[in-house]
Amino acid sequence: MEDHNGHFNAREPFVDIIPLGGLGEIGLNSMAIACGNDIIVIDAGLMFPGSSQPGVDLVIPDFRFLYENQDKLRAIILTHGHEDHIGALPFLLKECPNIPVYGTRLTLALLGLKLQEYHIEEAKLIEIKAKEKLTIGPFKLEFIQVAHSILDGVGIAIETPNGVLVHTGDFKMDLSASEADRLDLFKFASLGEAGVLALMSDSTNSDTPGHSLSEKEVGDALTEYLKEATGRVILACFASSLARIREIARAATASNRKIVFDGRSMIANVRLAQEIGYLSLPVGLEISFPEVSEYRNKEILIVVTGSQGEPLSALARMASGEHRQVLVQPGDTIIFSARTIPGNETAINTLVNLFHQQGAKVLDPRYHTVHASGHGHIEELKLMLSLTRPHYLIPIHGEMRHLNRHGAIAMELGMPKERVLFLSNGDKVSFTQDKKIFFGPPIATGRHLVEGTRLGSPGDPVIKSRKRLSEFGLVIVTLVLENLTLEPIVPPKVSILGVQYANEEDLAKEAEDIASTTALEFARDLARQGRVQEPGGVPAELYEKIRLNVRGLFRHSINRKPLVYPQVILMDRDET
């Protein structure tokens, strides 16, 4: 509330929403909610690197805000087990090891596998269920069952001193799903009836008209495709898509095919889901590769990882002919049962072309009903807005075009423009007790690039150099110079890597002549000036002259600017 000077009363408990990742981008989902001296975080996801980040393994949010406020951080709440929602947790927990993590059984089981990879053994993992209620500091949480492409996902209703916040998580409205997997429409409606201060809602498919397909529709279509196929079927999907794997098992049973699972993460996730009771396969449905020879080709379904063209995946090894058990042949059918993540188009198209060259038939989501999105389309977003009737909408999870389109949908339904809050990562929006808002100073956010055990940033000079190497190539110039005079003792050697040129040997010889001349002129200038060279030291200006002169040759000869790395070895002349 405001005082008589028009300022907000500092004694009032503000409720702050601070996105740390996931707004204006696909992945890195993480949202902090604060009130007084208490902070909870919803999700801590990663993003996989693009082609502009060579050598990078993962991309994670910059969690410095949480590290600096560890004394206020009360809990991390997970909506579901996808990498873009849990993948950055090992890094966060290494810095904040005592923070409890809440999630459903499957979500925590998947997280457990990930923590094992990072040798984190003492995390405080606390299982929750849909409809369960939980109090953390000033926050009263209730978990709401939602449908998504992974099982056991939840949305979260957060009762705060200033009103109820609703975070949908990733959701779709699959009314054909079983009761145990279906979105709880009635709970969202009851929240709307009671009053929702702000809805944070998934925007991923806000530009896709109509309704999303149900998993059952995909399962029915897969059944027909499997029946029609005259040879083996190789189906690629995300290893975490357990709802899809259930439908694949149903389709395999209906078409009299046996299933072979392949790919490390696929096998691990299937086994995990079986162990905790989330996946039950009919007895005898699954077989191993050694058993395949006992069946006809039309009785085999191989379910693999690699739907995004990952170079070391099972599917990629099959496409390149490097798989130990599977040689693709005419009569095989390849099914891509997954959406294409932006940036992976080239890798996927490469696989598709390789399979066509080997005589296989390829089915993909552009032309066949082999995939259903886990994110609601426009009509489902409208229904969520109509059920919850929020005072404010905060579009989350998506690129800027998705967030903007989601806001436009809300305004089309009658929500005033000023009540649609378009946030960016690091923005801090505060809610007062009388539903007013104001924006505080932004929080420092960003990205860290993970490479092995090393953390870098998008502006990391190592990444910049690596990118330049990939784009322009490398020229290594090796010179052997006399220790005191710096005169060349033997002719230089030039190695050209990653630079295309018709007469590479001629170009290398020219570069060697330029390097030799540059070193000789430098040595003569040194002598004319009466400068004495310290034994064992090479002046930085000599390196720079060689680099610039050799690079100039490539620029003028073939219009390329490779990285030039001079390597100087000093010796006494009598050592040669």
For the chain, domains (ranges, CATH) are: 15-173+392-405+416-456 (3.60.15.10), 215-363 (3.40.50.10710), 473-575 (3.10.20.580)
- If residue 165 lies in a helix (H) or strand (E), which one and from where to where? strand 163-167
Looking at 187-196, 217-226, 308-317, which range is the least confident one?
308-317
**Distance between CA atoms of 485 and 482, rounded to whole angstroms?**
6
For a pLDDT cut of 90, what percent of the chain falls above it? Answer: 72
What one-letter code names the amino acid at 190?
Answer: S
Q: Which pLDDT score, from 0 to 100, does residue 132 have? A: 97
**Distance between CA atoms of 549 and 151, rounded to whole angstroms?**
61
CB 10 within 8 A of CB 420: no
pLDDT digits (tens, 9 = 90+) for 40-60: 999 999 988 765 666 667 899
Q: Which pLDDT score, from 0 to 100, does residue 395 have? A: 98
Q: 315 is written with which tokens?
A: 């599917």
pLDDT at 21 over 60: yes
Q: 547 is written with which tokens?
A: 């680099």
Round the average pLDDT of the chain to a whole number and report it. 91
Reported as a pLDDT band with limits 50, 70 and 90, residue 66 is very high
Q: Is the dihedral of CA 487, 489, 491, 492 positive or negative?
A: negative
CB 476 within 8 A of CB 495: yes
Alpha-carbon dihedral of residues 188, 190, 193, 197, nearest 10 degrees? -50
Of 294, 285, 289, the residue nearest 304 (C-alpha):
289
Q: Which pLDDT score, from 0 to 100, does residue 53 have? A: 65
Q: How many CB atoms lie within 10 A of CB 295?
A: 14
Of 194, 184, 188, 298, the residue nearest 252 (C-alpha):
298
Q: Which residue has the higher pLDDT, 181 or 21?
A: 21
Q: What is the CA radius of gyration of the chain?
A: 30
pTM: 0.82
| Mean pLDDT across 457-464 | 65
* Phi, psi angles (nearest 5°) of residue 270: -65, -45
Angle, to 10 degrees, between the axis of helix 242-254 and the axis of helix 215-228? 40
555: helix, coil or strand? helix
For a pLDDT cut of 70, what percent of the chain falls above it? Answer: 92
Q: Which pLDDT score, from 0 to 100, does residue 34 have? A: 97
| Mean pLDDT across 79-100 | 95
pLDDT at 165 over 70: yes
Q: Which pLDDT score, from 0 to 100, does residue 54 have? A: 60
pLDDT at 392 over 90: yes
- If residue 395 lies in a helix (H) or strand (E), which one and from where to where? strand 392-396
Q: Which residue has the higher pLDDT, 269 or 532?
A: 269
Q: Which pLDDT score, from 0 to 100, does residue 282 have? A: 95
pLDDT digits (tens, 9 = 90+) for 461-515: 666 676 677 778 889 999 998 887 788 888 889 988 888 776 667 888 899 999 9
Burial of 128 from C-beta contacts in 10 A (0-12 / 13-18 / 19+): buried
**Distance between CA atoms of 494 and 482, rounded to whole angstroms?**
19
Q: Which residue has the higher pLDDT, 87 or 457?
A: 87
Q: Is the dihedral of CA 534, 537, 540, 541 positive or negative?
A: positive
pLDDT at 220 over 50: yes
pLDDT at 371 over 50: yes
DSSP state of 151: S
Q: Which pLDDT score, from 0 to 100, does residue 8 have? A: 45
Of 381, 372, 370, 224, the residue nearest 303 (C-alpha):
370
Reported as a pLDDT band with limits 50, 70 and 90, residue 536 is low
Q: Which pLDDT score, from 0 to 100, does residue 5 have? A: 37
pLDDT at 98 over 80: yes
Q: Which pLDDT score, from 0 to 100, does residue 228 have? A: 97
Q: Which pLDDT score, from 0 to 100, does residue 457 have? A: 66
CB 263 within 8 A of CB 305: yes
Q: Is the dihedral of CA 101, 105, 111, 115 positive or negative?
A: positive
Q: Which pLDDT score, from 0 to 100, does residue 535 have? A: 60
Q: Which residue has the higher pLDDT, 456 or 385?
A: 385
Q: Which residue has the higher pLDDT, 530 or 31?
A: 31
Q: Which residues contact 438 (CB under 8 A, 6 or more apart)?
A: 8, 429, 430, 432
**Distance between CA atoms of 191 and 389, rounded to whole angstroms?**
9
170: helix, coil or strand? coil
pLDDT at 9 over 60: no
pLDDT at 6 over 60: no
| Mean pLDDT across 195-216 | 97
pLDDT digits (tens, 9 = 90+) for 407-435: 999 999 999 999 999 999 999 999 999 99
| Mean pLDDT across 270-274 | 96
pLDDT digits (tens, 9 = 90+) for 136-147: 999 999 999 999
Order of strands, sheet of 447-451, starting from the edge strand that comes earlier in the sequence:
58-61, 447-451, 454-456
Alpha-carbon dihedral of residues 205, 206, 210, 213, nearest 10 degrees? 20
Say which residue the tokens 């406020």 belong to: 69
What one-letter code names the amino acid at 548?
Answer: L
Q: Which pLDDT score, from 0 to 100, does residue 170 have? A: 98
